[in-house]
A and B are shown apart, each in its own frame.
Chain A
Amino acid sequence: MSDHKIICAGFGGQGVMSMGRLLAYTGMLQGLEVSWLPSYGPEMRGGTANCHVIVSETPIGSPIISRDASAVIALNLPSMIKFENELVPGGQLVTNSSLITANPKRTDIEVIPIAANEEAASLGSAKSANMIMLGSYLAVSSLFSVDDVAGALQKVFGPKKADLLPPNRAALARGCEVAQSVVVR
């Protein structure tokens, strides 16, 4: 496995931090090396809360992703503009097409537009757009299966919040399904 270097970005409140943390946590449970580096400070309250997640089979050097991102998951337009240039050629840009109608400038990358807000709404949980996006990323990266991530989520929620698992799992699965159809198309 080559290193997976993923930037998750969006508005504060869209759940990009927890999405990235979940990826790192899943990696750790799989016995892989992981790091999760958040942006912090006032920018969190504005446009581009983001985190850098690295999943690797070997010890991780810098936790910063710098022009070597294998994937960017952008939940809003400022995030796409800010981070598309961090992608390696052939890298994957998963965009939330519910909020991002513009095209990226890069032409040497793979773009996977996902209408995450609409998909989340159709599942009856508008807040789970981040899980739709994460599910889509799982589909196109083959990093983890939906079961791997759901297993990690189960540990995060514990028995007290067990009722939160099914809707999140459904959103992950839905995101995965949608991405497969986008890629096929």
Chain B
Amino acid sequence: MMPVVFEKTRGLTDKQTHYCPGCTHGIIHRLVGEVLEEMDVLDNTIGVAPVGCAALAYDYFNCDMNLAAHGRAPAVATGIKRVLPDRTVFAYQGDGDLASIGTAEIVHAAHRGEKITVIFVNNAIYGMTGGQMAPTTLIGQRTTTSPYGRDLSHTGNPIRVSEMLATIDGAAFVERVSVHNPQHVRKAKTAIRNAFVTQQKGLGFSIVEVLSTCPTNWGMTPIDSLTWLKANMIPYYPLGNLRRPEEANHE
């Protein structure tokens, strides 16, 4: 018999995802599913999906799921966690959802030290609605609502969510990772695990910002997208841990 070297995590359902070819949402879903399975908390987890590309995440994660209104996932997760403090509760949000319409909810969930974990997928664009400018869109980046490139004098600088949240004491764990190559995928998984450990130990709010690609709306091949992420996003959105509690398990 052949040895098993890889199998799909029980953390995900068998449903085929709707994500575009080359989109990194699938990788990030897998990492979250694997961590929940490995920590043996999957059956006691409630997830909250956002509005945006990941809205249908409720069909992909193999645990109880809620779909929140646009930007409100941290508030919905708060409601769940306050009723069920011994369960694992996470929100999965994109950059339009979290960094634009949902800034109040994410800042205050962090501020309260809400014991939830947020997976924040930053691909510098609105994907689901067709490639409009996001608050995270880079200066000069062309989108369907910044056709001449994002203009600093007109729309300001891209928002650095992790740095902002890291100024908040209630945010116990804040880390930015990327999934543009296997080495970084492994680092991303470690960060996601540490975020859930932070929640499990009741240490406060935890968030992992994952730099992600959108080949469709960036107008690039999947490989070019990964290269573009590395060349353009990482210099503006530096990777690394910004806050980590002493007690959290960091490998």
Direct contact of A and B (CB under 8 A): no
Query: Which residue numbers of B lie inside 8 Å of A, CB to CB?
Result: none
Query: Which residue numbers of A lie inside 8 Å of B, CB to CB?
Result: none
